[in-house]
A and B are shown apart, each in its own frame.
With several copies, the nearest count.
Chain A
């Protein structure tokens, strides 16, 4: 599964994109985040305030409870600021 990070989430995590194999007990976006936070200080810093974390599962806006089974791509980013 591909994980993507954008804007300051990317900067704090210290990675733009990575291929990972999630632990078998990860069911939703929330589970992905909990797992990521065990992987190092960068991820912990990136995901320390979940009120400013948004996500997309297979390029569709999702929520923390969006299931991730079968997903090819999950992205994490701050609230969007285009336009």
Chain B
């Protein structure tokens, strides 16, 4: 399941919804990404822009790929857009499987691919001046290791 939304999400509620009434899930890994103010007080807010239409297609493709590679009982990707403040949630990825290794690997894969394929762009507002966040080379390296 994928969602692009301006609203916040609650990890516990999302996991509870995925697992409700099921007894075949043994392991759930969640990843959540937050707006970080690396230097303390330098980031006033962040704006998340995306490419409506393509975003949903890319997230669906990434999720499908994860489900083909690992035996997942459930998966979820939520990405927020719009204005966010330091400490706010940006993204949530959940992978549920019978065993923990599949859940860990799938969640990590989902994040690595989302970081390099999903059309989102971050702009930091440092109070007065805005700055588009540069892509990190390490994200490309992380994604490349999965050899899609």
Which residues from chain A sit less than 8 Å from chain B, CB to CB? 4, 6-8, 56, 59-61, 75, 77-83
Which 3 A-B residue pairs are closest in the complex by CB-CB distance?
A82-B120, A79-B135, A7-B121
Distance in angstroms between the alpha carbons of A59 and B139 in the assembled complex: 22
Contact of B51 with A82 in the complex, beta carbons under 8 Å: no
Q: How many cross-chain pairs have Cβ atoms below 8 Å apart between A and B?
A: 69
Contact of B54 with A56 in the complex, beta carbons under 8 Å: yes
List the B residue with the shortest CB-CB distance to A75: B51
Task: Given A6-B51, A7-B121, answer yes or no on A81-B91 (Cβ-Cβ < 8 Å).
Answer: no
* Cβ-defined partner of A83 (8 Å) among B54, B118, B132: B118
Residues of A within 8 A of B121 (CB): 6-7, 77-78, 80-82
Residues of B within 8 A of A78 (CB): 121, 132, 135
0/1 string, B104-148, CB within 8 A of A gives 1: 000000010011111111110000000011110001000000000
Task: Given A6-B121, A7-B49, A7-B123, answer yes or no on A81-B54 (Cβ-Cβ < 8 Å).
Answer: no
Distance in angstroms between the alpha carbons of A57 and B28 in the assembled complex: 34
Interface residue tally for chain B (C-beta within 8 Å): 28
Distance in angstroms between the alpha carbons of A30 and B116 in the assembled complex: 22
Contact of B79 with A80 in the complex, beta carbons under 8 Å: no
Residues of A within 8 A of B119 (CB): 6, 56, 75, 77, 80, 82
In whole Å, how far is A80's beta carbon from the nearest beta carbon of chain B? 6
Distance in angstroms between the alpha carbons of A79 and B33 in the assembled complex: 19
Residues of A within 8 A of B133 (CB): 81
Residues of A within 8 A of B96 (CB): none
Task: Given A4-B51, A7-B49, A56-B51, answer yes or no on A80-B120 (Cβ-Cβ < 8 Å).
Answer: yes
